[in-house]
Amino acid sequence: MKRREIFAGNWKMYKTRETAKSLVKSLLQGAALTENREVVVFPPSPYAAEIASLCGGSVISVGMQNMYFQKEGAFTGEVAPAMVRDCGCKYILIGHSERRHVFGETDAEVNKKVKAAFEHSLVPMICVGELLEEREKAKTETVLEAQVKEAFNGIDAGRAGTAVVAYEPVWAIGTGKVATPEIAEEAHRYIRSVLEVLYGKPAADDIPILYGGSVKADNIAGLYAMENIDGVLVGGASLEADSFLKIINTR
């Protein structure tokens, strides 16, 4: 089957307003997409509305890198789900390893954010992945199962089918290390098997699973060739138009 493909760029805490605008304008000019493929960019939140305005009606969708799960309130420094929508964003990145391991975000909080995303008509891109020590102790599947099950806890099949999952082995993020296509495919296949237990095979087969972790133009082809890798979530290589376009335009 042909699942929807998503090639996403997480700009993290990089770019100024002008360099962010320049980057997205280059992407708009250079992205040669097929009908089944979507590009998503996650700019820093201060620039999200302006980037979303530039991308309106184009082949590029925009997401926010983080939000809080409460509707509103006295939560200084946080962004509400309705604010994400109001900025023109379609996607929300949830559970990125930096949120989990730098800022202490728990599986339970990830689940609350997933529920809040659906309640506000946002598409959650849910990140899961194991630490190096967990992989070395053969705990990868245990970690992935727990993270996926908790993220989707209380989510019905109809909503779950619109979500996106991104497998990001923590040991490969920003390290220059990349899981081999075979290692990545094995993890993706396992994640899909967990989703199948939760929702059945047809629903699980519809959910795109992206790979993230030191993705570059010179390793995208091998990853993209794998059956269960439906796109990528790119970090550093998405910060420059040339390198990201080479990834986006992979065939």
Residue 168: active-site member: yes
What the block records as the tokens of 20 is 């962010």
Which of these ranges, 19-23, 131-135, 197-201, 204-208, has the smallest mean pLDDT? 131-135
E strands present in the chain: 5-10, 37-42, 60-64, 91-94, 123-128, 164-167, 209-211, 231-234
Give me the domain span that covers residue 141: 5-248
pLDDT, tens digit, 9 for 90 and up, residues 36-93: 899 999 999 999 999 999 999 999 999 999 999 999 999 999 999 999 999 999 999 9
In the predicted structure, residue 130 carries a pLDDT above the cut 60? yes
Kindly report the CATH number assigned to the domain that includes residue 52. 3.20.20.70
Q: Per the residue annotation, which of 130, 168, 185, 188 is the catalytic one?
A: 168
Confidence grade of residue 171 (pLDDT, cut at 50, 70, 90): confident
Q: Per the residue annotation, which of 5, 38, 96, 150 is the catalytic one?
A: 96
- Give the total number of structural domains in the chain: 1
What average pLDDT does this structure show over 90-112?
A: 97
Residue 120: active-site member: no
